[in-house]
Amino acid sequence: MAADPKAQKVVVVGAGPVGSLAALYAAQRGHDVEIYELRSDLRDPSTTPLNFTKSINLALSERGINAMRNAGDPTLLDHVMAATIPMRGRMIHGRRPNGDFFEQPQDYDIHGRTIYAVDRGELNKRLLDILERMPNVTFHFNHKLSGADFRKCRAWFEVQGKENPATATGRAKEIEVGFDLMIGADGAHSAVRYHMMKYVRMDYHQEYIDTLWCEFQIQPNEDVPSEQPMSRFRISPNHLHIWPGKEFMFIAIPSDDGSFTCTLFAPSLVFERLEVTPEQIPAFFDHHFPGVTSLIDPPELISQFRQNPHLPLISVKCKPYHYGSSAVILGDAAHAMVPFYGQGMNAGLEDVRILFGILDKYKRGDEGEASSASGLAADRRKCALAEYSAVRVADAHAINDLALQNYVEMRASVLSPLYRLRKFLEEA
C-alpha cells in the first residue's frame, strides 16, 4: 500500500480506554500511530492493573458507546458490548423504622433504556485487540514520557522494566521520538499536561476531595454452576446497587461471572478509624449498609478492607486543552473527575469523537492541497485544536461539577421523601 502523503505521525501517550480509542480514530484516518504506555501490555496476565486493584467496574453510557460506534470499526462495539451487563436503574438498599431491610428500584429511564456495567480492564483489552490488527499502529509498552518539546515536535521516553537493562550510568535508557501531533491520554497525573504547561498559559486547578475509596467483592452464588453466570448473582444483576449512608456510600456493580465489584466511599477520617479498629468493620457495615454482611462474610469484609488499597479521588480542571498544532490532552489528563456521575471515562471517550469530528471538518478544506509537510496541514490542525479547546472546556467543566454534586445525590438525596416526590412528579 502506498504511503498517504497526508498521513501524519500521531503519537498517543497512554493506552488506557481514552488513548486506545484516540489511537483507533487516528489509525482509521490513515495516520501513522505510535502508542506509548508506561505499563506493560494489560493483556499480559503478569501486568499490575491500574491503581493496583483487581478491577474497576464502570458504568458505560450512551456518551461513551456513541464514541465507539463512530470509531469506524464495525466490530468494535459488539466486541466491547459482549462483556457488559445492562443496568436499568439504581437499587437503593436501606432499613425501615421497624428494622426490616428494603430494596427500592429507581429506573433510569421510563422507556427502559439502560446503562451498562463493564470491567475497565476488559474494555481496555478489547480496544487493544482491535488496534493490534491495524498495520499503521505500533505499541510501545513500558515507555514513560519523560520530556517533550512541542515547538520542535520531539518527545523523550524512558524505557522501563525488563526492556531496559539499566545503563552504566544507572539512568534509565531514553529514546527520542518525533511527531506531528501528540495526543496526551495519560490520566489524571498526566505528564503531557505537565510538559504542555511550559508552552501554553494553562489555567490549572486540582482538588482532592476528603473521600477515599476501597474495593470489595461479592462472590457469586457457588451453588449455581459457573456455566450459568446470570443465575449466580446474589442480588439483581440489572441494577447499580447503592447503600446510601448520608456521609458515606457503598455501591455494587455486576460483573459477568456472577460477582459484584463493590466500592466503599467514605471520608478519610472514617477510613482512619476503621484502619485502627478493623474488628469494628462488620458493625459499621451493619449500621450503615444493611444487608451487606449477608453478602460478604464479616471476616472476608475485614480482610478485603485491609488488603485492598484506600485510594484518593482527584478532580482536575484546566484550559486550554491544546498547544499550537502539536499537542492535545484528552480524558482524565484534561478533566479527571470524581466518579459519582459515572462519566469520567464516558466523557473521555466522547472527547475523542468530538476532537476527530473537528479535525475532519478542517481536513475537508485541505483536500487537493499540498501534504502536511507544507505547513498547511499544521495550520489547519492548529485551528482545529483551538476550536476543540473552545468547545470542549465548558462541557468538561460542567460534567466535572455535576460529578461532585452527584455525590450528595447518591449518598443522601436518594433517600429523602422530597427526592422521591420530585421523581414521582417527573415521571407522572
Stretch that binds ligand FAD, among 8-16, 223-231, 274-282, 379-387 (CB under 6 A): 8-16
Report if residue 258 touches ligand FAD, rule: CB under 6 A: no
CA distances from 406 to 193, 215, 338, 409 (A): 27, 20, 9, 5
331 touches ligand FAD by CB under 6 A: yes
Q: Which of 11, 23, 24, 38 is close enough to bind ligand FAD by CB under 6 A?
A: 38
- Specify the stretch interacting with ligand FAD by CB under 6 A; choose among 35-43, 70-78, 273-281, 290-298: 35-43
Site membership for ligand FAD, residue 216 (CB under 6 A): no
d(CA 210, CA 309): 16
Query: Residues 179, 181, 344, 355: which binds ligand FAD (CB under 6 A)?
Result: 344
| Dihedral angle of Cα 385, 391, 396, 401, to the nearest 10 degrees | 150
Number of residues that bind ligand FAD (CB under 6 A): 33
Phi and psi dihedrals of 329, rounded to 5? -110, 145
Pick from 12, 19, 87, 255: which binds ligand FAD (CB under 6 A)?
19
396 touches ligand FAD by CB under 6 A: no
Residues in Cβ contact with 56 at an 8 Å cutoff, skipping those fewer than 6 apart: 50, 119, 120, 121, 215, 261
Q: Does 122 bind ligand FAD (CB under 6 A)?
A: no
Question: In which element (H, E) is residue 317 found?
Answer: strand 311-319
> Applying CB under 6 A, which of residues 137, 181, 345, 359 lies at the interface with ligand FAD?
345
Q: Which amino acid is at 166?
A: A
Region of residue 287 (phi > 0: left; psi between -120 and 50: alpha; otherwise: beta): alpha
Query: Using CB under 6 A, which residues numbered 142 to 161 contact ligand FAD?
Result: 144-145
Where does this chain touch ligand FAD (CB under 6 A) — which range of 26-34, 180-188, 197-205, 217-225? 180-188
Question: CB–CB of 263/250 below 8 Å?
Answer: yes
Nearer to ligand FAD, 318 or 377 (CB): 318
- Nearest approach, Cβ of residue 424 and ligand FAD (Å): 26
Q: Binding of ligand FAD at residue 384 (CB under 6 A)?
A: no
In terms of DSSP bridges, do strands 239-245 and 89-95 run parallel, antiparallel, or are they unpaired? parallel
- Which residue spans within 193-259 are E strands per DSSP? 203-218, 239-245, 248-254
Q: Which of 120, 80, 29 is nearest to 348 (CA)?
A: 120
The nearest distance, CB 289 to ligand FAD, in angstroms, is 17
Cβ atoms of 108 and 45 within 8 Å: the answer is no
Q: Which is nearer to ligand FAD, 377 or 403 (CB)?
A: 403
Instruction: Find the part of the chain contacting ligand FAD (CB under 6 A) among 290-298, 301-309, 337-345, 373-381.
Output: 337-345
CA 67, 68, 69, 74 torsion-angle sign: positive
Binding to ligand FAD by residue 26, rule CB under 6 A? no
User: Is 114 one of the binding residues for ligand FAD (CB under 6 A)?
Assistant: no
Residues 83-112 that bind ligand FAD (CB under 6 A): none
**Site residues (CB under 6 A) for ligand FAD?**
13-19, 36-39, 50, 56, 58-59, 120, 144-145, 185-187, 191, 213, 263, 331-332, 339, 342-346, 348
